Structure 1
Amino acid sequence: MRRKPRSIRSKIVLSLLVPLVALTSLWVVDVKASFADATALRDTYNTRDNVSLPCDRMVAALQGERTESVEFLATPGSGAKTLRARRAATDEAIAQFQELSRRYGGSGFSAEITRARFADMAVRLESLTEMRARVDARDTTLIDVLNGYSSVIGYAFSVSNAAAASSEPLVERVMRTMVAMRRAGELLYQEDALLTGVTAAGRFGDGEYLQLIQIVGALRFQIPTAGSTLPAPDQARFKGMLSGPAFAALRSAEDRIMGQGSRGGPVEITSEVWKATSTPAIGQLFAFLADGYDHAVEFARDARDRILTRFAVSGLLGLIAIVVSLVIAVRIGGSVVRRLSVLRTAATELARRRLPELVRRLRAGERIDVDGETPRLSLGDDEIAEVGAALTDVHQSAVESAAGEAALRQDMNKVLVNVARRNQALLDRQIEALGPVDGGDARAYQLAVRMRRHAEHLVILAGSARSRRGLGPESLATVLTRVAGETEHAERIAIGPIVDAEVRENAVADLGHLAGELLVNAISFSAPDTRVQLSARPGPDGIVIEIEDHGIGMSPAAIEETNRRLAQPREFDPADSARLGLFVVATLAAQHGMAVTVGPAAGGGLRA
């Protein structure tokens, strides 16, 4: 199906709207981006309160329970009261984390990752039950307990790291730095838990000395590295803390333990001394980290204020530009569209009503005032006005051409009628001289009748009145029998029953002409050894004359087109001269109120 073409009006509107829509789209994108950034920064508060801080509290509880579990294993005669208290605190921190994580309202891809980490964390926390049972039964080693708790804590850090994503680079850097430093601080807790168990037992167990060396090596590398991405003031304070007396004492104690200890050998430091050394360093590190998330929130607040200020300026200026562009586009586009609408209406009126009506009047012989019938359009002084003036010139030229064509047509019709009349007069004299005879002269008589009918075609084409021959009305049988006898190859025509009816005098010649054309067509398009049936019978709306042949027939599409032409005769087109007989039949039928149709015959061929 052919798509309806877009109008000029729509193209003009589209050309004006495209830059306006583009400008509006850019403005909307900028506004959405600003709101998205502000929303993401607002999520920093939500992340801190519902993910980061609860996760840190849970990690601290797990770290404390790990140390108590290791000490419980290292001292066989100790009770489990302190350990149970630690476990209760851990369960409370886990429950609080799970409750607050449900309130997490982050958005975007990173938020989906964070929620997936929540699910992984829930699965990992289920391993605590089995680990606690093995500790209670003393059916595990210090290394296994250390690694088991460290694995759960590692998953907790993956939650914090996923939640640290932010649209503001500085905020995200501070958040991720806090997570990295807490991971490094976890090494301190691992060292504390390991040495708490070792000093309580008084010696290194299997793999414990090697584990200590690995932890200390990772600790001394990761803690300074983790602080390297802090903002300059915080980084200076962090370096000062690492070079202070607490961490110096910790490093000295580590060197002493590793230097004097050995695999399976004794520990040259007591549990009390280790606690007095490690506790200040751990306390200073986590005191430093305590306000790290608050720093990130402060950065987020400042960044949000900058974004809102930018939005207030760019958004307002963009909105003003859009409004001004819209007003200009509406004024210019409206003016152009209105004048084009006037031009289109005038052109449509000219093409569909005025010009066809003028041509019809000219062909009918009416004289018209060409200048008076030409429309004058007032469309300004630009290109649209020039198109309007050109349309006026086209109209005037078309009317002048139509007037000249009508005059030429009328002159040609007069010539055709004059020639046809002369030929008719000569042919009438020849027919009278021949008379209806049999034998060889019958063919000459039939050809002369057919030539006279062709001469009458010219009169019909010219639209002139035809001479009526006859001395009054005749019976239908007489008219049809005479026409059959005057047709070439009349011996092939089989005349069937013909109803008794009378034909008015003014219709005798035209009915004979019409029936003769149909008979000639039936004989011409059927084999020489077949018959053509001619009959007339009463019908519901008058008399039905049937002419049936057994020739090559016509396709359904051709039958449909032929019946359409017979039902609605139109002006003759010289390019369609091959179907002159069809035009003559349709014209005569329309003049006398007759209906002519064709259709397939029962045994092949056509029935008219």
Structure 2
Amino acid sequence: MPLRTVLLIVVIVPSVTFTPLLASGMRQLFTQWQAEQAQMDLATTVVGRPSIDLFFALDQERQVTARVLAGPRSQAGPGSAARQSLAEQREATDEAVRAFRPLTALDVANGQVGLTAAISRTVRGLDLLEQQRRAVDEGSSGSRQAFDYYSGVVESGLGVLTALSHTDEGQVNTASQPLVDLLWIIDLLGREDALLARGWETGRLTKTEYGLATEAIGTRNHLMHARVVPALTGEETRYAKLTDGEAWRAMTAVEGRLTLAAGNADGDQLRLRDDSATWRSSTETVATQLRELLSLRFEHVTEIGYGHANMIFTVFVSISTVGLLALGLVVLTSWRLTAVLRRRITHLRQEAHELQERLPDVVARLRRGEDVDADAEVPMITPTGDELGELGHALNLARRSAVRTAVRQAEQHRGFQRMLQRIARRTQILIGLQLKKLDELEHKHEDPEVLEGLFDLDHLTARLRRYEENLVILGGGQPQRRWRKPVRLLAILRAAQSEVQDYRRISIDVEGEPWIAERAVGSLIHVLAELMENATTFSKPLTPVEVRAAAVGRGVAVEIEDRGLGMEPEQYAAVNALLQSPPQLDVLTHADDVRLGLYVVARLAANLGLQVEMRASAFGGTRVVVLLQEPLIVDRPPAAPEPAERPEEAPQEAATATATTAANTEPGSEASEAGPAREDGALPTRSRGRAMASVTAQAGSPGPEQGPAGPQDHGGAAAPYARRPLPQRVRQASLAEELKAPVDTDDRDQEGRAARDQPRRSGATIGAFQRQSRKRRADDDAAPPRPGGSPEPTTPTTEDR
């Protein structure tokens, strides 16, 4: 719409909107004043006064009825003083009931919530009053029955007074609470008096009556000390020491002796001391004081309620007057300023439009790595002396600061990435030298304990190399490990397994014999190692991690499944979104993020075209599915001819077999027997303590592939190649017969347990075995092929990188 139309709408819409809002506010204030006025009328005169009169009348009739029923029959005749007092009280009660009954037809639409239900409940109780009186006169109603009836009706009346105290004004509710508590105190005192009336006459109380009396005493003291006395204000404070008065002390002294009556139990009866005179005089004085305090509190609540209602009415009149005047002023002033604002806003709009066209271009150039001059790219808006001019000046400062900040952050980010890559590259050089040195030491030493430590260092170094590659990837670079030939997927999975700390828990199962293109080997090893590490880290120790690979319709799928706690569906969705579209990661802002490994996986997967998805596992953990697309799957490369074995390399093979550990076995197995490389490409394995068996055995013992005649002599003509098994160590095989000690079954068991208790060989020994295998193949390149020409399986090696 045109700007003029917009400004007109800006003028008209607030005016039109303000009018109903003002009317609504005025109506709300009027309704609130009307409701509070009606509620105060109900609480003070219409319902409150009849309810209080009924409450005191029923309380007094309960006490007189209890005295009549507790006295002897001879003194309870029609002409007795007790009966005369009861008849007078009944007339007063009837008058209060007649004043209360019309309240059932009262319209309390603006009244307190629950008031109608409380009035109806009280009236239903009053309907049984005549029946209860006849039962008392005829002697068919006992003291307990009369007590329960009158207490129930009085409690219903208290419900009406409690409902009246719940108004729409919080100050009135707060001030009314002590008023209701005082009524409950008077009721509890009346209950106690009615219960003790029989006790003073007979000198005994039942245990049930004693329990009701002591409960009333405890509740009354709590309400008085904890809720009424702390809330007293103004003239009410003179009753703050009511509990310290002579009458209250006398009453509590009688109650104290009453509580001691529990020790004078005679079956179901408790003997009481005759304190009726003291009790009567003290309770009458206390009741009078409580009624005086109740009257003061009632006046205080009335003053607060009507005062607040009058204040709302004053606010209603004031807001109505001011609102109408403001409405007229807003319409007139807005119409006059429309022309001025239209011209100024048009100018600012043009400046903002220019900024809108320029800033995206600046940001795009920064992303491309170009240098940007913030002062030249952001033109100044000519400032003026009013508020809109100050807005233009602030806009100048804001957009110049934004461009400068973007330029500075981009330069810092690029500089940090370059520094991170340089540091990581230099560290990778040192790690390569360390691996080379460890390789030399593994060839040099044959002591199992020394090799144990070297293998552990080799494993730690391999993991450290992966962590350094993480830094390179997070810094925007790519891994430097390269292969010149395709590699079998099983070898890639084992290479990834060797870079995991808890590799023994990982089991690998590959269907078929898929081969991976050389360009994807290094990155795929890194991705699989990160996912295997994640699976072992976030699952309980000793639980297996299963890795399965099989051909599917669009390539090869690798599944990594753990048995951990898994994640929530929202977390799976967030992780999969990250893996599908890796963000431009700023390492500085994500330094504390525990998902840096997922960022690495996401980047490598995006570069290779891998599809990585995390799902919930049937075991309760997480299953990761890595889909290798068909361009990454290649055919098996042609095998090189198998070289013949040279006799002088047999010692070297023995050393190589010694360096091979249980890291090449299935996870969870203690050890497996070492052997030559099999036709299916699986890596050889060996048992702990058996690496030198072939060295110490008889020289003429045939191997599994030599046949009964043993190996042929290579000193003359070239003999056909025959693969011999790796050496195996046999306990005490190198000792003379005189030095050998008998080994029984218990020693073997203890030896096996000791071997199991020792630290296991590190998974990095796979690398040691691979290096020895590569050296063997390099030395045998000139040797004649072995019979049958079966291809030798290829495993990922550092020489192929």
Radius of gyration: which is bigger? 1
The structure where helix makes up a greater share of residues is 1
TM-score of the superposition, structure 2-length normalised? 0.38
TM-score of the superposition, structure 1-length normalised? 0.49
